Structure 1
Amino acid sequence: MKRLIGLVIAAVLASTVCVASAASLVLGPGDVVRASVYGSPDLAIETRISESGAMTFPLLGEVQVGGLTTQQAEQKIGGLLEKNGYLKKAQVNLLVTTLTSQQVSVLGQVNRPGRYPVDGPRKVLDMLAVAGGVGPDGGDRVDLVRNRDGVATRETIDVVDIVRKGELNRDYEVSGGDIIFVERAPRAYVMGEVQRPGPLRIERAMTVQQAIAASGGLTPRGTQRGLRITRRDAGGASSTSEAKLEDAVQAEDVITVKESWF
């Protein structure tokens, strides 16, 4: 079920990702651009933007374009060609062939973790879609780590809740250098007389009874009487107590189902 939800989310989001205009791309160090000037084939060039944000252009030498959009860079280069008397009217076109400076890392429990270019306005859900969606072991909440003016911040986004309620305004816009991390879903353990003892994914508002059902139910020798649950507190100390079927399951709980003596 979780895998199906992840794939559905990815498909829905991928279909709604807006196609950004190339003019909105912000140039930065490492980007490779192909430049051409209408009517002047000798001025065509493909070059990489330096660490200082400069690109080399015929006749002009180094031109600072770092931090400019492609449209702004086109206007700047065209203006310099006209100002220096090389052309009366310069129509410059820039095409980014390799986008290196504006990349977001999508890590953790996604289907295709990696670094992806931010080729225009993008939000967290957009980038999750690009990375193939949340994987079958991924949790519902996603961390977004951003660095703005030397200050690192972390935001947590409840992806499933946003999609279910259609509240896309709660999503966050991303930019180059951001990190999106999908944690592994919380787990509990059901031991003893159940059909499939071992770890299981904790679904929202899961009860002890639901956890036992997710483990295949009781064996012929199992009983719902005398259920025990072992839980760690905030300090890491564990304690064991009687469990009721309606009790909520928490991360790392160990539920023990006893053998019936009757």
Structure 2
Amino acid sequence: MRHRYKLIRSGLLILVLSIVFFLSGCAPKYLPEDFEKPYQRTTYSFDQGMYPSDQDLFLEYKIQPGDVLDVMFQIKAQPQETFVIDLYHQIKVVYPDLPELNTEQKIMPTGHIILPYIGQVKVEGLTLQEATNLLEEKYQYVLLDPQVSVSVTNMDVRIEQIRRDLMTAPRGLSKLVNVRPDGFATFPLIGNFFVAHKSIDQVNVLIQQEYQDYLPGMQADLYLHEQAGSAVYVLGEVNEPGTYTIKKPINLIQAITMAGSFTQDAKLETVVLFRKHEQKLIARRVNLENLLTLKDSEAFFFLKPEDIVYVPKTHISSLAVLIQQIADIALFRGWSIGGGTFQWMDDLNQ
């Protein structure tokens, strides 16, 4: 009996070894040493054709909370014909034929000056020529052939004040601006502007006009001083779930690799991705198992910054199952995923 048991055990061992050797013998035929197989690249349908680029680069950087922007200022000289009188200025009014009427005074907070015979006259916001024409018009009812000359004696006072406000010892005429978590940044002299998810060029155009309105001849050039970093989020059945900074477009396999690869419990045929599009969080299922087993129908799926990757533990057959699985993940607590803000790209029941 014992001898028969030894024979059976020996037979099983031989069978197992035979299977191993058989599979080993088949492996080169299935995947030869010089095996090459081209795969396409894909992403969400609304981004295909634009992303990823052929150079595998982010074609346009979008400002993110935590970024630090550098604003470099230049103040160019204004032509006299476009120079505008402001509250900072001191006005000199000269009467060539009546020098005893000459006066020099600061503009009042109301924008007025007080002149002989005609009283208060508002000159704020006028060019020097416009102010001269206005005074001569008012004096024609008082003086015979009135001639008046208007000038500003402290023309650079506002510019010098702005220079003092903007000057930093190591950087010159510039200021660093932080992008807050709410997406706003506070720019010197002009205040708060929403800059998140805009390009540097878009924000530069916005503030350039504001600075021109604040002081004609003032130019501001915007640069990215420090980047908070583009990130993707990998959750679920991976060894090291978390937030991962990316410097160029990466595919799904690369993201999961950054997260320490998937666990033994991962259901790779129903990996779920989330991407924000038109104020909605769009979910899409990717069958990563097919790709890893070299199925012809699959392609390398590329992620964008702020994408979320969820590797489930069980097969996901519906939106309800997905919500149940992610409800216990800390990152999603407090998120509003109802009210039409969640949408599937395809049918998960396929």
Q: Give the TM-score of the pair, scaled to structure 1.
A: 0.47
Q: Compare relative contact order (CA 8 Å, sep 6+) and give the higher one, 1 or 2.
A: 2
Higher strand proportion, which one?
A: 1
